[in-house]
């Protein structure tokens, strides 16, 4: 039977020199599609807050909502490692609460690992969750949950001091037991230094080609979300294709072209005749 990749498998891919492929997906259908082409990691990201719920930022997603998205995605994943994002305020209040909520994502959301935004300030939290037996992925560089406190959604690591802060965060996370790190929207030099320096994989998003792997959001890469960040590549314009299909459906219904012969079923003429006679008798 096929089994999902583990933290150990993901680290082995880095050692083999092959790039790691990760996709953010939030539901059964999209996770199943991503899994079917063999991506290595599927992240149920807190970007679901905007992409799936139309909210203004990632902070508005609750742990209960995240669990529903995780369960849904999990049903579609056989091969990839499934990682659940820890929502804003599910790990900040105390280490105990962080471990409890990470446990909920694993037990109720059936994910294989959790992701936490933040650097050295969360090293003890990462250590405690790993001690509980749950693999943790770090997330540094641009951390959207803190965007309103920091420099907004801006490129990180332009100045040596800032780049160094990010590198020190990554080292602390590796020392705390994180099995990999997402590096969001930094200069490519930070991605290169970290991928070479750390033994754990560095998965970049907007952080250049030298990272050990890349992550994009499903809806961004297929063109389903209208507010994509500048670093995400649109591989197809699914929104245009879906709108075209919906418009054709609308026209066909209005003009009585759908359903055509292939899409409806008739009674046998004899049965139909019997039915009409039954109705006549009653009338
Ligand atoms: O929430 C998310 O989708 C993420 C990825 C962009 C890494 O955190």
Residues 97-149: pLDDT tens digits? 999 999 999 999 999 999 999 999 999 999 999 999 999 999 999 999 998 87
> Is the residue at 273 inside a domain?
yes
User: Does residue 81 sit in the same domain as residue 212?
Assistant: yes
Q: Is the pLDDT of residue 152 over 90?
A: no
β-strand pairing of 202-205 with 213-217: parallel
Is the residue at 44 inside a domain? yes
Same-domain pairing of 131 and 19 = yes
Nearest Cα residue to atom 4 of ligand 1: 45
90 lies in the same domain as 183: yes
Q: What average pLDDT does the structure give for the chain?
A: 97
| Residues 148, 153, 156: CA angle, nearest 5 degrees | 110
Per-residue pLDDT for 237 more than 70?
yes
On whether residue 268 sits in a domain, the answer given is: yes
Q: Which of 198, 217, 236 is the last residue of a domain?
A: 236
Per-residue pLDDT at 41: 99
pLDDT tens readout for residues 58-93: 999 999 999 999 999 999 999 999 999 999 999 999
In a shared domain, residues 51 and 92: yes
CA atoms of 256 and 119, how far apart (whole Å):
60
Average pLDDT of span 2-18: 97
User: Are 111 and 246 part of one and the same domain?
Assistant: no
For a mutational test of ligand 1's pocket, the pick from 25, 43, 180, i.e. the residue with the most ligand atoms closer than 8 A to its C-beta, is: 43
Residues 215 and 275 in one domain: no
Domain span at 250: 241-282
Does residue 1 form part of some domain?
A: no
Question: Average pLDDT in the 219-242 region?
Answer: 96
* 198 & 246 share domain: no
Same domain, yes or no, for 86 and 42? yes
184: annotated active-site residue? yes
Ligand 1 atom closest to the Cα of residue 48 is: 1
**In this predicted structure, what is the pLDDT of residue 109?**
98
CB of 85 shorter than 6 A to ligand 1:
yes
Residue nearest to atom 8 of ligand 1 (CA): 45
- Statement to judge: residues 132 and 43 lie in one domain: yes
Per-residue pLDDT band for 151 (boundaries 50, 70, 90) equals low
Q: Please tell me whether residues 204 and 259 are part of one structural domain.
A: no
Domain assignment of residue 62, yes or no: yes
Judgement on whether residues 207 and 265 belong to the same structural domain of the protein: no
Q: State the total domains in the chain.
A: 2
Q: Are residues 86 and 182 in the same domain?
A: yes
Q: Is 205 in the pocket of ligand 1 (CB under 6 A)?
A: yes
Question: Using CA positions, which residue lies closest to atom 3 of ligand 1?
Answer: 45
Residue where a domain stops, chosen among 219, 236, 253: 236
- Torsions phi, psi of 56, nearest 5? -80, -25
E strand or H helix that includes residue 24 = strand 20-24
Model confidence, pTM:
0.95
Residue among 31, 34, 46 whose CB has most ligand 1 atoms within 8 A, to mutate:
46
Q: Which of 184, 226, 268, 271 is catalytic?
A: 184
Other C-beta atoms closer than 10 Å to the C-beta of 248 total 12
């Amino acid at each position: 039977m096929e089994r999902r990749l583990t933290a150990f498998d993901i680290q082995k891919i880095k050692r083999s020199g092959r790039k790691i492929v990760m996709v953010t997906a939030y539901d059964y259908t999209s996770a199943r599609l991503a899994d079917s082409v063999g991506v290595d990691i599927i992240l149920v990201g807190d970007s679901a807050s905007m992409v799936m719920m139309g909210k203004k930022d990632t902070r508005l997603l609750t742990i209960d909502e995240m669990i529903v998205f995780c369960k849904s995605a999990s049903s579609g994943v056989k091969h990839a490692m499934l990682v659940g994002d820890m929502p804003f305020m599910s790990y900040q209040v105390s280490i105990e609460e962080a471990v409890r909520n990470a446990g909920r994502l694993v037990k109720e959301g059936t994910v294989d690992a959790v992701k936490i935004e933040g650097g050295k300030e969360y090293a003890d939290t990462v250590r405690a969750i790993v001690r509980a037996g749950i693999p943790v992925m770090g997330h540094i560089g641009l951390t959207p949950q803190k965007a309103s406190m920091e420099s907004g959604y801006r490129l990180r690591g332009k100045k040596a001091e800032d780049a160094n802060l990010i590198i020190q965060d990554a080292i602390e996370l590796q020392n705390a037991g994180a099995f990999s790190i997402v590096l969001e929207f930094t200069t490519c030099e930070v991605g290169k230094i970290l991928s070479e320096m750390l033994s754990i994989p560095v998965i970049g998003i907007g952080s250049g080609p030298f990272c050990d792997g890349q992550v994009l959001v499903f809806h961004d890469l297929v063109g389903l979300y209208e507010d994509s960040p500048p670093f995400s590549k649109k591989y197809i314009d699914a929104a245009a294709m879906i709108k075209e299909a919906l418009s054709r459906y609308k026209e066909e219904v209005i003009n009585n072209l759908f359903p055509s012969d292939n899409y409806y079923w008739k009674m046998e003429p004899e049965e139909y005749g019997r039915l009409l006679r039954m109705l006549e008798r009653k009338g």
